[in-house]
Amino acid sequence: MPSTQAKRSSVTSEKGATAPRVRFMRRVVTAVGVQNISLLIAIAVLMAVIGSQNPEFFGIANIRVIGTAIAITGVLAVVQTLVIIMGALDISVGSAAGLSSVTSAMVFTVSGPFLGVVSALGVGVLCGLLNGCVIVFGRVNPVIATLATLAAFKGVAQLISDGRSQGYTGADGFFVFLARGTVLGIPTLIVILALIALLIHLILRYTSIGRNIYAVGGNDVASRLAGININRYILGVYMLAGAVAALAGILITARTGSGQPISGSEGLELESITAAALGGAALKGGKGTIAGTLLAVILLGILTNGMTLLGVNSFWQNVAKGGLLVVAVIIQQLRSGERRIGLPA
C-alpha cells in the first residue's frame, strides 16, 4: 500500500510540475499566434533547404540583400494589411508607387530632394483620397475602384514621363542614404520598414482608431449602428495607403537612381496582397496582424532570393507567389468553416 501511495504522489508531483510548462507553452502560442508559428516553421524549413544547396545563403552580405530587397514590398504589405483588416483592398498601390517615383525624380531635377519627396508624398495622398472618394461617394466596390485607378495611375505616370525613366538621383546624398545608407549599422531601407510596421502596429493594437478599423472590417453594419463614421475611416485609411505607396515610390527612385513609371513598381500590388493574406489577414476583413505580415514578407523574400541563388528561372518566382496566394486563401476558407463555392452545402 505505501508503494502505491508513493507512485500516486509521484504521478501527482509530475503532473504538478508539467502543468506550469503546459500553461507557459499555451501562453507563448497564444501570444505568437498559430498562424505565425506556421510561418516561422516554414521559414526555418525553407532556409535549411536553400542553405543546404548553397552555403552562401547564410552569408551576412546575402542576408543584407534579402533585407533591403523586401523593404519596398514590406511597407506596401504592412499598409495593405491595414486596408484588408478594414474589409477593403487596394490594388492600385503599385501604380501609385510608380507615379510617385516619377514625380519625386522630376521635381528633384528642378527643385532638389526636399521638394521632390514632399511632392511625391502629396501625389500619394491624393491617389489615396481619390480611391476613397470613388468608394465612398461613388459607392463602388473597393476591388473595382482600385482596379480602375491602377490603370489610371499607371497611365498618368507614363504620360508625364513619356514612358521613360526620369531624372538622376544617384549622386544626391539624401537618395544615396535612403538606398545604401545605414543607421547604427542597419540598412536604412530596413529601418524605414521597421518604423512603418511599428507605427501601424501601435495604431491597430493600442488606439481606438485601430479597434474601430477591426470593428468596421468585422461587421460594418454593427459599426455604423455603434456610431463609427465608416466613410471617414475609409477615406483616412486609403489616404494613409497612398502616402505609404508614395514612400515606396521614393525608395524605388533611390534604389534605381531615377524615377520609374513602371519598372520597379509592377507587381507590387500582388506581392503586398499575397504577404498580407499569407500573414493571416482575412480578405473579408476584421482579422490580421502586422507581425504575421512581416513574417510572410520575410518568407517571400527568402523564397525569391533562394530561387535566384539556385539558378531557378525568374518566371517561376511569379508562379510561386501566385501559388502561395491561392494556398493562403484556401487555408482561410478552411479555417472559417464557410461553404466553398461549387461544393454541396
Q: Are 98 and 265 in contact (CB under 8 A)?
A: yes
Query: Would you say 144 and 86 are in contact if contact means Cβ atoms under 8 Å apart?
Result: no
pLDDT value for 306: 87
| Amino acid 18: pLDDT | 65
Q: How confident is the model at residue 236 (pLDDT cuts 50, 70, 90)?
A: very high
Query: Measured between alpha carbons, how far is 92 from 336 in angstroms, rounded to an integer?
Result: 28
Query: What pTM did the predictor assign?
Result: 0.85
- Residue 15, pLDDT above cutoff 60: no
Specify whether the backbone of 162 is left (phi greater than 0), alpha (psi in -120 to 50) or beta.
left
Express each pLDDT in 25-68 by its tens digit.
555 455 455 667 888 888 898 899 888 888 888 888 888 988 88
Query: What residues have CB less than 8 Å from 80, skipping those under 6 apart?
Result: 89, 90, 93, 241, 272, 273, 275, 276, 293
50 is written with which cell numbers?
A: 536553400
Q: How confident is the model at residue 20 (pLDDT cuts 50, 70, 90)?
A: low
The mean pLDDT of 298-319, rounded to a whole number, is 85
Helices and strands in the chain: count of H runs, count of E runs: 14, 2
* Nearest-10 crossing angle of helices 290-309, 34-53: 10
Tell me what the mean pLDDT of segment 68-73 comes to: 91
Mean pLDDT of the chain: 85
Look at 27-36, 279-288, 311-320 and tell me which has the smallest mean pLDDT.
27-36
Contact 294, 78 (CB under 8 A): yes
**Percent of the chain clearing pLDDT 90 (strictly above):** 47
Examine the pLDDT at 200 and tell me if it is beyond 90. Answer: yes
Backbone phi and psi for residue 162, each to the nearest 5 degrees, phi listed first: 60, 25
* Residue 140 binned pLDDT confidence (cut-offs 50, 70, 90): very high
Task: Name every residue whose Cβ is closer than 8 Å to that of residue 305 and which is 6 or more positions away in sequence.
Answer: 50, 57, 62, 65, 66, 69
Which residues touch 34 (CB under 8 Å, ≥6 apart)?
Answer: none
- 245-278 pLDDT, tens digit per residue, is 999 999 999 998 888 888 767 788 888 998 998 8
Is the separation of the CB atoms in 240 and 79 below 8 Å? yes
- The maximal CA–CA distance of the chain, rounded, in angstroms, is 95
Distant-in-sequence contacts of 196-199, Cβ < 8 A, 24+ apart: 196/74, 196/75, 196/78, 196/79, 196/244, 196/247, 197/74, 197/75, 197/78, 197/290, 197/293, 197/294
> For residue 1, what pLDDT band results from cuts at 50, 70 and 90?
very low
CB atoms within 10 A of CB 140: 16
Task: Identify residue 181 by its one-letter amino acid code.
Answer: G
Three-state SS at 172: coil
Backbone φ and ψ for 187, nearest 5 degrees, come out as -55, 140
pLDDT of residue 40: 87
Domains along the chain with CATH numbers: 37-334 (1.10.3470.10)
* 10: pLDDT strictly greater than 60: no
Tell me the CA distances in angstroms from 281 to 36, 94, 211, 214, one per residue in order: 11, 19, 15, 11
Q: Residue 269: in which H helix or E strand, if any? A: helix 268-278
141: three-class secondary structure by DSSP: coil
The per-residue pLDDT for 79 is 95
Q: Taking the CA atoms of 52, 53, 56 and 62 in sequence, report the sign of the dihedral they define.
A: negative
Rounded Cα distance between 111 and 104, Å, is: 10
Task: Tell me how far CA of residue 273 lies from CA of 79, 223, 328, in angstroms.
Answer: 10, 25, 10
Predicted pLDDT at 31: 46
